Amino acid sequence: MKTAYIIQGFRTAVGKAPKGVFRFKRSDELAAETIKHLLKAVPQLEVSRIDDVMVGCAMPEGAQGLNMGRLISLMGLNTIDVPGVTVNRFCSSGLETIAMATAKIASGMADCIIAGGAESMSSVPMGGYKPELNYDSVKAGHEDYYWGMGTTAEAVANKYSISREDQDLFSFNSHQKALKAIKDGIFKQDIVPITVNQTYIDASGKRNEKSYIVDTEEGPRADTSLEVLAKLRPVFAQGGSVTAGNSSQMSDGAAFVLVMSEAMVKELNLEPIARLVSYVPVGVEPSLMGIGPMVAIPKALKRAGLDLKDINLIELNEAFASQSLAVMRGLKLNPDIVNVNGGAIAMGHPLGCTGAKLSVQIFNELRRRKQKYGIVTMCVGTGQGAAGIYELLS
C-alpha cells in the first residue's frame, strides 16, 4: 500500500441558516471558491494532475443536486477534464470523502484528489424537500429509523442521565471557547474570505446591490449566559431537556483538503502537513444516534495501533450537548483536549461540510501546540458514528 498525505486544507467561516451571512451564496459557490484558494496555496500543482474532486453533502438535492461534486469541479478548477463525485454519509460526509481519497491513493488508483464537503442548510431544508417514509418499516416497529435528531438527543439524555443544567453549561462553555478563539485570531489560518453579493429591492421599488466579505464565524454569542439558556423551552419533547440553546446550529459552509501520493509529493517537492492514520464508520441504535463516537473512537484507535492516551486533541462534533456529554463520559475523555476552541453548538454544523471543517481546524491547532495526534469524530444520522485519526507531520 502507498502512503497518502494531506498537503493543505482550508474552509469558509460558518454562517447561520437560513437567514445568515451565506443565505445569498450557494454551497457550490462556497466550495468552488474554497478550492480556488486551496490551489493558490500549492502553485506547483497543475490542475490537469488532479484525479478527482470528492464532495460530501448530506442533502444532495435542489440547489445541491445534479451531482454537485462534478459541478464544483467545473466551477472551481475551470476545466472539463477533472471529474467530480458527491458523497453522502450525513454528518460524516466531509470526513468520508477524505477517507475515500486516502484509500484510493493508498491502493494506487489515484495520485491527487481534492476532498471535503459543502452544505447550504439555507438552500435545502433538513430532511430534504419531499421526505417519503417507508411505512412498512414504521409499522414493523422501527419508527426510530425516521426519528428527528432532536428526538434521539432526548433519548440519549434520558438513557445516560444527562441533566438540563449540564447541557446548558456545556453549551455556555462552547460559546465562551469559540469567542476567545475568534478574539485571539485562532481561525484566521483556516478560513477563506468569501465575498457575498446581495441583490435587493428597496422601499421605493428600486433594485440595489451590495457586497460584503465573510471571514469570521457568525454563530458564537457573546450575550449568552447560563440564565438565558435556562429560560429556553425544550424543542423536541414535552418536559424534555434539549433546547435550541444546547443544540448545534443549522449552518452553511464548505471545507476542502488536498490529498496526494508520496510519489507526487516528492516530485513536486512539497511538504505534507498530515496523514489520515485510520477512519472507522460504525452503526448504533438509530434511537441513540448520538452515541456513535462512543463506538467509533475505540475501533479507530485499535485500527491505528494507538491508545487514547496517545491522542493530543479531539474534535467531537457537538450535534447536541446531551450526546457530546454522553460520549465524553462514556469514554472518559479528557475535557481539556476536547473542542478546545468551541464546537458546533457555538459555531454551527453545516452537515456535509463538518468533517472536513473539523479536520482543517485540528491540523492547525495541533501545529500551534506542536502536538502529533488528533481525532475528528461525530455522530451520524439514522444510527451511525465515525472517527478519523490524524497524525500531524509539519
Catalytic residues: 91, 349, 379
Distances (CA, A) of 329 to 114, 295, 333, 373: 35, 13, 7, 21
Angle at which helices 321-330 and 292-304 pack, to 10 degrees? 40
Q: Are 144 and 289 in contact (CB under 8 A)?
A: no
| The length of the chain, given as a count of residues | 394
At residue 261, what are phi and psi to the nearest 5 degrees? -75, 155
Q: Are 288 and 324 in contact (CB under 8 A)?
A: no
What's the CA gap between 361 and 348, in Å, rounded? 14
User: Within 10 Å of residue 268's Cβ, how many Cβ atoms?
Assistant: 16
What's the CA gap between 26 and 118, in Å, rounded? 9
How many helices (H) and strands (E) would you count in the chain? Answer: 12, 12
